[in-house]
Structure 1
Amino acid sequence: MKTRATELLGIEHPIVQGGMMWVGRAELAAAVSEAGGLGIITALTQPTPEDLVAEVERARSLTDKPLGVNLTILPSINPPPYADYVKAIVESGVKIIETAGANPEPFMDELKGAGLKIVHKCTSVRHALKAQRIGVDMVSIDGFECAGHPGEDDIPGLVLIPATADKLEIPFIASGGFADGRGLAAALALGAEGVNMGSRFMCTTESPIADEVKKAIVDATERDTELIFRPLRNTARVASNEVSREVVQILDDGGEFEDVRELVAGARGRTVYEKGDTEAGIWSVGMVQGLINDIPSAGEVVTRTVREAEQIIERLTTLSA
């Protein structure tokens, strides 16, 4: 299945693993890449830039296929040393970076000079056009269904993907709401060159999160997420639990970030993934969990998704015969 995305990234199948905090580690990324997709290591999951280089080397010991690194740049009280992480990404030798959050323009010259392909995650057509203007190679367009930050426009993929296709000249992949071949076939039909899947790869055998969290994803429905930080215009989609519902209530009642700071602490979310207590804190998952019914290997997710998409495309071509 060849598209502009597979040609640009040097991969066999138009499937990219999301760069998820605490999840995008060597074993998962390598398994996705080995199956022909693009595995992504999450830079800020690693405590230091040096650790990131070591994690890339570890993934390279598991596969010789292309790998990428995600760097999400967000406002923070104590921001990570983003420039040092960029240097580490360059030094690691990977040739693909997925940027998200803030504008990657300050790092473009360094990344381009090192020969990296830059994929920037956007939640709107206007942001995708800005990314194109500053010179990124590809966009990952993120619909309202997604886990994490869906932006503030609330545009779902069924509209956002073709709207992007109408305006963008560089290739783009679709993100948010994808878990199987039906989604891949639909994304291609709507004008995307592939898909980015996060929650689906969270729920695989190589995913480094606790089995209890994977089971919770399997058991959940598409209705079991919450949108937190809406009044602060920094919306994030997370799993629905006692903590996230409390955060929503406090902010809806006029609370400020300081009133929920302890509830949303990243350390508590990390505990969820490591200990398996799904009520311990805030943790990200998309509406697509309603389509996830098993815990296969990451490689099986890739091959099954492509196989299903090919079968759907073949069936659809018979409709006009």
Structure 2
Amino acid sequence: MIKTRFTEMFGVDHPIVQGGMQWVGRAELVAAVANAGALGMITALTQPTPDDLRKEIARCRELTDKPFGVNLTILPAIKPPPYAEYRQAIIESGIKIVETAGNKPQEHVDEFKKHGIKVLHKCTSVRHALSAERMGADAISIDGFECAGHPGEDDTPGLILIPAAADKVKIPMIASGGFGDARGLVAALALGAEGINMGTRFMCTKESPIHQLVKERIVANDERETELIFRTMRNTSRVAKNAISTKVVQMEKEGAKFEDVRELVAGARGKMVYASGDADEGIWSAGQVQGLIHDIPSCAELVSRIVHEAEAIIRERLEAMMSSAKRQAAE
């Protein structure tokens, strides 16, 4: 079993996190991840109201007695959701782990810490990781350019970003963006992280609450089947490549503003993709890791496979290389 500062701090068996995903981070998936010994995250803003979040947390507790957390993503909006009310629902529900993401989370970190809640902050750059560390975050999830959703504007891939962050960040750090198998876990550990965060890979599991046709689309896709939208608006988002994403990218090239594409990228349309199975219904997030996803296992099967194969890589491949090198040096 692979133990790290992260597994010890957050009380989980394996250094694997299922990060918050809009419309996907629901009780049935989160509980399955938790029961597999990893850390699952309910996505707070998937629930339409703070009371609905309370109910979803309670539903998850009926499905698992293992640790799980809640993701609270803070994004700029003309009419922002009632973040303080969602935060209070998390606190009153007795949640002890929160993943924050998006804009500066200082007020949320401060309030969560008052109630003994551990905060894992997701960010896309070393400077933001250091800022979150100063704010009091307990751990960092560092998100490389390969990721689904918002990779930031620096375009730094994980192979550079993870060790660059590990050189400076003192608190435990999880590597995110492009992870989906044992090779990724071993690589992340070698680069200085203490675990991995997986989104797209957990979307493609039996317990994931999205349509089977979308899961099959992920399996069929390769690493090229994503597009970056909102580049011209400096709010880059990596999404699955489909008819709508291609149209949005083309419109941006022609000078379109957000108002011009608003209807195409509406969240309600993306939600319908997961409900109907029509992958061209709207915009939906998926990472380049699609190229490494070839099946639809249960969460228990997936986590067990990753951990056991990672142990085998370390023991049988890397240690064997070291032993061979020692023998050659002795000769």
Q: Does the TM-score normalized on the shorter chain lie above 0.5?
A: yes
Residue 320 of structure 1 corresponds to 322
Query: C-alpha separation between the residues in 2 aligned to 1:163 and 1:47?
Result: 38
Residue 268 of structure 1 corresponds to 269
Residues 73-102 of structure 1 show CA distances to partners (whole Å, capped at 9, x for unaligned) of 101122110000000011111100000001
Residue 193 of structure 2 corresponds to 192
Which structure 2 residues correspond to residues 8-157 of structure 1 after superposition, within 5 A?
8-157=9-158
Structure 1 position 107, deviation (Å):
1.6
Q: Which amino acid aligns with 2:63?
A: L
Residue 163 of structure 1 corresponds to 164
Query: C-alpha separation between the residues in 2 aligned to 1:78 and 1:244?
Result: 25
Residue 328 of structure 2 corresponds to none
Structure 1 position 311, deviation (Å):
0.6
Asked if 1:235 is matched to 2:236, the reply is yes
Q: The residue matched to 1:250 in structure 2 has which SS?
A: helix
Query: C-alpha separation between the residues in 2 aligned to 1:200 and 1:283?
Result: 14
Asked if 1:308 is matched to 2:317, the reply is no
Query: C-alpha separation between the residues in 1 aligned to 2:285 and 2:243?
Result: 14
Query: C-alpha separation between the residues in 1 aligned to 2:21 and 2:299?
Result: 15
Q: Which amino acid aligns with 1:107?
A: H
Query: C-alpha separation between the residues in 2 aligned to 1:302 and 1:18?
Result: 14
Structure 1 position 299, deviation (Å):
1.2
Q: Kindly indicate whether the alpha-carbon contact (under 8 Å) linking 2:110 and 2:136 is maintained by their aligned counterparts in 1.
A: no
Query: C-alpha separation between the residues in 2 aligned to 1:312 and 1:260?
Result: 46
Query: C-alpha separation between the residues in 1 aligned to 2:99 and 2:212?
Result: 27
Q: The residue matched to 1:61 in structure 2 has which SS?
A: helix
Residue 211 of structure 1 corresponds to 212
Residues 33-85 of structure 1 show CA distances to partners (whole Å, capped at 9, x for unaligned) of 11100011000011111111111111111111101000011011221100000
Structure 1 position 252, deviation (Å):
1.2
Query: C-alpha separation between the residues in 2 aligned to 1:107 and 1:272?
Result: 32
Q: Any gaps of 5 or more consecutive residues in structure 1?
A: none
Residues 130-189 of structure 1 show CA distances to partners (whole Å, capped at 9, x for unaligned) of 001111000000000000000000000000000011011011000000001000000000
Query: C-alpha separation between the residues in 1 aligned to 2:300 and 2:51?
Result: 28
Structure 1 position 238, deviation (Å):
0.1
Q: Which amino acid aligns with 1:319?
A: M
Structure 1 position 203, deviation (Å):
0.3
Structure 1 position 109, deviation (Å):
2.2
Query: C-alpha separation between the residues in 1 aligned to 2:140 and 2:52?
Result: 27
Residues 179-236 of structure 1 show CA distances to partners (whole Å, capped at 9, x for unaligned) of 0100000000000000000000000010000001000000000000000000100000
Query: C-alpha separation between the residues in 2 aligned to 1:134 and 1:49?
Result: 25
Query: C-alpha separation between the residues in 2 aligned to 1:59 and 1:119?
Result: 20
Residue 288 of structure 2 corresponds to 287
Structure 1 position 317, deviation (Å):
1.2
- In the superposition, the TM-score normalised over structure 2's length comes to 0.96
Which structure 2 residues correspond to residues 242-257 of structure 1 after superposition, within 5 A?
242-257=243-258
Residue 327 of structure 2 corresponds to none
Identical residues among aligned pairs (%): 68
- In the superposition, the TM-score normalised over structure 1's length comes to 0.99
Query: C-alpha separation between the residues in 1 aligned to 2:140 and 2:110?
Result: 18
C-alpha root-mean-square deviation of aligned residues, in Å? 0.6
Q: Which amino acid aligns with 1:298?
A: C
